[in-house]
């Protein structure tokens, strides 16, 4: 469900943590656009912002949590702040099955922002795994709901907050 009546501040933590989380989201938007300009979209839902690429959500952001979808095979062995995370994989028998059947080897990392004392280092450690997942997700077809759920105003609001222009998907029309 789209909810453009809320403001961006309703979705984000305040202060430096919010800026770091938004910059991670912005970097994922840039990468999604460069990989497949017509297969991604940003949705503003009741309690969170969600970036979809291909058939799956690849990032969600709420005031309390940043959730990244990763490539399980390239998650680093050691992480700076492991206490603030939870990894979820698709199958205990075969972790490479993945959380999302359309993207084998996908895993979810949930970062509780208030508990992650080393957020910059943690995001840096997870970056390659997340980028690998983005490449894999970009090879899947776009979810039919992504286009209708995309929020042009959400992208503009994030651009304003991080003080740089972000792309819109190729199919997007101005909804001002």
For residue range 59-80, what is the model confidence (pLDDT) as tens digits?
999 988 999 999 988 988 888 8
**Cβ contact 34:74 at 8 Å:** no
pLDDT at 176: 47
Whether 80 is in a domain gets the answer yes
Q: Is 174 a member of any domain? A: no
Q: How confident is the model at residue 6 (pLDDT cuts 50, 70, 90)?
A: low
Q: Is 106 within the bounds of a domain? A: yes
Spatial contact of 83 and 118, defined as CB atoms under 8 Å apart: no
Answer yes or no: is 175 within a domain.
no
- The chain-wide mean pLDDT, for the chain, equals 87
* Domain assignment present for 16: yes
3-class DSSP assignment, residue 125: helix
Count of domains in the chain? Answer: 1
Tell me, yes or no, whether 173 lies in a domain: no
- Looking at the domain assignment, is residue 148 inside a domain? yes
Residue that has been written with the tokens 């075969």 in this structure: 94
In the three-class reduction of DSSP (H, G, I as helix; E, B as strand; rest coil), residue 32 is classed as: helix
pLDDT of residue 71: 93
81 or 129, greater pLDDT:
129
- Structural domain contains residue 1: no
For residue 36, how far is the Cα from the chain centroid? 15
Range of the domain at 107: 8-162
Q: pLDDT by residue (tens digit) across 83-142?
A: 777 777 766 677 667 788 778 888 899 998 888 889 999 999 999 999 999 999 999 999
């Amino acid at each position: 469900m789209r909810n453009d009546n809320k403001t961006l501040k309703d979705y984000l933590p305040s202060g430096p943590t919010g800026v770091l989380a938004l910059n991670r989201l912005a970097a994922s938007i840039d990468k999604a656009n460069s990989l497949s300009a017509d297969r991604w979209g940003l949705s503003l839902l009741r309690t969170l912002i969600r970036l979809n690429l291909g058939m799956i959500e690849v990032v969600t952001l709420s005031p309390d949590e940043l959730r990244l979808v990763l490539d399980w095979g390239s998650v680093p062995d050691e992480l700076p702040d492991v206490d603030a995370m939870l990894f979820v994989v698709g199958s205990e028998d075969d972790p490479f099955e993945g959380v999302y059947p359309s993207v084998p080897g996908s895993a979810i990392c949930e970062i509780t922002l208030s508990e992650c004392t080393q957020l910059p280092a943690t995001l840096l450690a997870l970056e390659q795994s997340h980028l690998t997942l983005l490449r894999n997700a970009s090879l899947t077809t776009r979810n039919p709901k992504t286009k209708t759920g995309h929020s042009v105003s959400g992208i503009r609001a994030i651009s304003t907050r991080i003080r740089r222009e972000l792309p819109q998907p190729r199919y997007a029309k101005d909804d001002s």
